[in-house]
Chain A
Amino acid sequence: MRILIVDDSPTMQDIVSMTLQSASFQVFRAEHGVEALAVLDVASPDLIITDLNMYRMDGFEFVSRVRKRPEYEFTPILFLTTESSEDMRLIGRDLGATGWLLKPFVPEDLIRVVKSVLQ
Chain B
Amino acid sequence: MSSLEPFKATYFQECEELLVSLEAHLRELGAAPSSREPLDAAFRAIHSIKGGAAMFQFARMVALADALETALDRARSGRVAISRSMAGRLLSATDILSDLAEAARSGSEAPDGHETAALAALAALDRRATRTTKPAQAKRRVGPTTSKRTNVPSCTEPEVARPVAAQPATYRIRFEPGPELLRRGLEPIAIVRNLKALGKLAVSADVSGLPAFAELDTAILYLRWTFHLTTSAPRATVAAVFDFAATSATVEIVELPVSAPTSASASVSAHSPPASPFDPPTQADRRTNDRENVADRRGKGSDRRVGSIRVELPRVERLVDLVGEITIAQAMVLQHLDQTLVTQNPQLFRALTGLLKLSRTLQDSVMAIRAQPIQTIFVRMHRVARDSAEQLGREIELHTSGETTQLDKTTVEQLADPLMHIVRNAIFHGIECPDVRLAAGKPAQGTIRLSARQRGSRIIVEVADDGAGIDREAVLSRAIAMGIVPAGAALDDAAIDNLIFSPGLSTAKTISDIAGRGVGMDVVHQNIRKLGGHIQIRSSCGIGTTTIISLPMTLAVLDAMKLTCGLETYLLPIAHILECMVVRRSAILNVPGSCKVIEVRGKQIQLISLAQRFGLPDPQQSERVAIVLAEIDDGSVIGLVVDEVCGHQQIIVKSLRDPALAAAGFAGGTILGDGNVALILDVNQLVRGAAMAAARTPRSMRVTFNAEFNAA
Contact = CB atoms under 8 A, between A and B. Distances in A.
B307 interface: yes
Contacts of A97: 281
Contacts of B517: none
Contact of B277 (A8, A83, A109): A109
Interface stretch (B7-15, B111-119, B311-319, B535-543): B7-15
A68 B3 CA distance: 38
A53 B299 CA distance: 11
A86 B237 contact: yes
Contact of A113 (B185, B278, B285): B278
Contact of A14 (B10, B186, B187, B191): B10
A48 to B, nearest CB: 13
A9 B11 CA distance: 9
A23 interface: no
Interface stretch (B28-36, B43-51, B379-387, B672-680): B43-51
B155 A94 contact: yes
A64 B57 CA distance: 32
A9 B185 contact: no
B240 interface: yes
A60 interface: yes
B492 interface: no
Contact of B183 (A53, A54, A106): A106
A47 to B, nearest CB: 11
Contacts of B187: 104
B416 interface: no
A89 B90 CA distance: 29
Interface in A66-82: 67-68, 78, 82
Contacts, number: 152
Contacts of B486: none
A interface, size bucket: 35 or more
Interface residues of B, number: 63
Interface in A49-67: 53-58, 60-61, 64, 67
B185 A84 contact: no
Contacts of B6: 18
A15 B277 contact: no
B308 to A, nearest CB: 9
Nearest to A55: B303
B54 A82 contact: yes
Contact of B197 (A55, A85, A91, A99): A85
B7 A15 contact: yes
Contacts of A78: 278
B357 to A, nearest CB: 34
B149 interface: yes
B280 A95 contact: no
Contact of B287 (A60, A94, A106): A94
Contact of A61 (B1, B285, B295): B295
A55 B240 CA distance: 29
B280 A98 contact: yes
Interface in B183-212: 183-187, 190-191, 194, 197
Among A64, A83, A87: residue with most chain B CB under 10 A:
A87
B361 interface: no
Contact of B290 (A94, A109, A117): A94
A100 interface: yes
Nearest to A90: B155
Given A9-B51, A9-B52, A11-B55, A106 B185 contact: yes
Nearest to B141: A87
B305 to A, nearest CB: 7
A88 B291 contact: no
A32 B432 CA distance: 49
A80 B43 CA distance: 18
Nearest to A9: B48
A37 interface: no
B700 interface: no
B278 A86 contact: no
Contacts of B47: 53, 82
Given A10-B10, A55-B44, A96-B281, A87 B149 contact: yes
B279 interface: yes
A62 B34 CA distance: 28
Contacts of B298: 58, 60-61
B244 interface: yes
A15 B4 contact: yes
A117 B277 CA distance: 11
Nearest to B69: A82
Contact of B44 (A53, A89, A95, A98): A53
B51 A86 contact: no
B277 A101 contact: yes
17 contacts: A8-B48, A9-B48, A9-B52, A10-B310, A11-B14, A12-B51, A12-B55, A32-B301, A53-B47, A54-B44, A60-B295, A67-B291, A85-B145, A90-B160, A99-B277, A104-B51, A104-B55
Interface of B: 1, 3-4, 6-7, 10-11, 14, 41, 43-44, 47-48, 50-52, 54-55, 57, 141, 143-146, 149, 152, 155, 157, 160, 183-187, 190-191, 194, 197, 237, 240-241, 243-244, 277-281, 285-287, 290-291, 294-295, 297-298, 301-303, 305, 307, 310
Given A14-B7, A53-B145, 7 more contacts: A55-B305, A60-B297, A83-B145, A86-B194, A90-B160, A93-B285, A96-B286
The 4 closest A-B pairs by CB, nearest first: A99-B278, A85-B143, A56-B301, A64-B291
Interface of A: 8-12, 14-15, 18, 31-32, 35, 53-58, 60-61, 64, 67-68, 78, 82-91, 93-107, 109, 113, 117
